[in-house]
Structure 1
Amino acid sequence: MNLLEDLHWRGIVYQQTDEEGLKEQLNSGMTSLYCGVDPTADSMHIGHLLPFLTLRRFQNAGHRPIVLVGGATGLIGDPSGKSEERKLQTLDVIGHNVKCLQGQLERIFDFEGKNGAVMVNNYDWAGSMDIVTFLRDYGKHIGINYMLAKDTIASRLETGISFTEFTYTILQAIDFMHLYKNHDCKLQIGGSDQWGNITSGLELIRKTMPEGAKAYGFTIPLVTKADGTKFGKTESGAIWLDPEKTTPYEFYQFWINTADADVVKYLKFFTFLSKEEIEELEATVIEAPHLRKAQKRLAEEMTKLIHGESALEQAQKITEALFSGDIKNLTAEEIKQGFKDVPTYEHKEGDVVLVDLLVAAGIVSSKRQSREDVTNGAVYINGERKQALDYILTAEDRIEDQFTVVRRGKKKYFLIKY
């Protein structure tokens, strides 16, 4: 199965400008292609992943990926998918975001060897462009009627769109033309919402490059969930690639909690597992769904890819500890990850009687309830049941002298911080 056949099998192909022409281009030898992201935040989230993982599939097939972070376009704002104007960010903020996103993208691509990835920032060629050059050399080639026909612009005409965001599609077209001219880039890939911007680039290449210039566009479908809810969102918000925003444990848990109805699709979209292995995992979803083998493999592959082997091992350790109740063997760092969102009480004094602490921390409503819970065996300290009414928490009950994990009942966790 060749690259395009594999992409079709995975369900990754949404639109192509010239499928037969692209086949010929890819068969002719190593092809340079690009995908871009605007640094509107200091981290990407998992909604950004699929286009870049698709770009990596092209690299695995012997082609050269160009990874673009839009230091210039990020200052403007893509009107795609927005009902109102973006809030403009400062050059310093965008510059910081560029560095953060580049660091995350470096984990996905191989920058060594014959087809090593190239990282670029469009601020390098667009940042110093004067308005006259923009209007004469580029704006002249893109007609107003052509731009008004773009869905991203047409959808904003009633609510309003500034000239700044109106010209975004020309800036992205300049990117494609610049990379075509300077890096022999023949293909741009992106999400389905980028079709209008990609075809604007092809239009600019057609009008400014020598006759016979050939370039191609390729888009990827929007990732959806079977239940209709938005992919990549949880009750606590977006799933970020930055481990400070979404811990590796939370990242792992997101993938392991994938519904049976979605897991095979996500294995095809996001992992580099072979067709044969994915089909084997698909069979387990039908024959033994309770084992959740497909979800575990998905979580392993994604956590390892984005955060590395050691972070995966740590996430698995935390998961096992929470499942078994064996909390005391976790490190303070693992406690921070695993109990990031549980109620926390800061205890500023020394040793304390357990029944008193339960009331002070708000774990129970009264001392009477506290005594009943302890006596009935409903209270666990770092995974161990405590039933003595006179039990005193000491330094020995602290994990690395920073935390004590209290569990009330089967699933209600609380964190005592020192």
Structure 2
Amino acid sequence: MTIQFPAPLGDSVLFASVAHYHCATGRFETPIFPLDPSGAYRYVWHAIGHPALLSWLNPDCSNAGGFFALSVVLASTFALAYLVVARQRGAVAGLLFAAVVFALQAKQGFRPESTAVLLVLGAEWLRHAGKTTPWLLVAGLLAWTQPTTLILYAAFAALSSDAALRQRLATTALQWLPLSIALHLTLWWAYPYPIADLLQGLSAQGRIFAQRDDGSVFNYLVRSDFFPLFGLAFAAVYGGSVWRRWPLLGLLPLLWYVGFRVPATYYNLVPLFVVLLLDLLRARRSETGPAEHGRRMALLCGVALLACAGLIQSTLRDAGSWLQYGSSMASAISHERRLAEQGLVACTVPPWFTLMHPAADFLPSHVPTLRACPTAAESSRRDLVHAVALRRRTDAVACEARAGDPGRAWIPHVFQSDSGYSFSVCPAALPR
């Protein structure tokens, strides 16, 4: 596939590989993030809903099919975002809101927040339509897609609920409660691994992420590649929501814990950002007055400008890969084969190489390492190092630039992201 957008961004490739392997083998697995307590490749450190959806939407279990599946999610969310706002605010407001949502999803790429955004939009539409049972069922699916989003969304719904909603919940409890229990028992029964392993994996992942120090508030919330000033935009939207509903101040401890405490986990805030912005836009002009209506539309326009800037940035990044390497996956496979013809064997590789090899070809490692890597003939070992990791290597000067047009070699290095398809061939880092 020539146009692969959005490129697997950061750790979103973990989820892309899970979906890819599930489509091909029926197993939820990936060798990249080895948190399986059994030592295997089982995907037991996150919910399975998102990779399952991408797997089912992939028509032929190919890489191109994987991008097609994500495109279906993005297009469906764009249409829903437009409809829920355009009905009250008009076509222009609907398009601006949909553009913001699309940019946020494109920034997340294959991460589960992309599906979580679709679910929270659907849940909010059902909630405001008075469809209590479908609302709770759709919201409950977040537990199997992105559990953190479920916690944040449940807190938002509780703090923003009114007497009418609470009354509906009470009077329809005999309808939604048995159905909700049946839904989750069915999903629990269908889950392919012991639930205890999932809980252990989620706990291990939480401990690891709490210790991350690979970024700062500036990098993730201010500079924020592919959606600049994301943290400031979130603060503005949250402030507007609190101004309208002061009980939403109760979200602050949760926001700090799941988003700001470890800046690298900013993605937990993305679905809630969409919900808060939608909540502001839902208020009728007759309820807020013309001045407040104008301020909210100005806020929407400002956020939409940031979204468009992020989309331009990510398109430039990916266009650089397309111009330099053509079909990125095919080019990478070809380059790997040329190395083999020279008697050289790849050891560590960029994470997106898991989309081109069976899971069994890799050792379980946070840095993807091919099993074919020789242990004795060290002179034949080579690492394929992506742009960001290259900056951390002491032997970077000994690395050979990947074949391509040297006139555009700077493009993949413009952004502090490992999402470009470029890599360099380096002497293997030893000892291993």
Do Structure 1 and Structure 2 share a fold, with TM-score over 0.5?
A: no
- Which structure would you say has the larger RCO, counting Cα contacts within 8 Å and 6 or more residues apart? 2
Structure of greater Rg: 1
TM-score (norm 2): 0.27
**Structure with greater helix share of residues:** 2
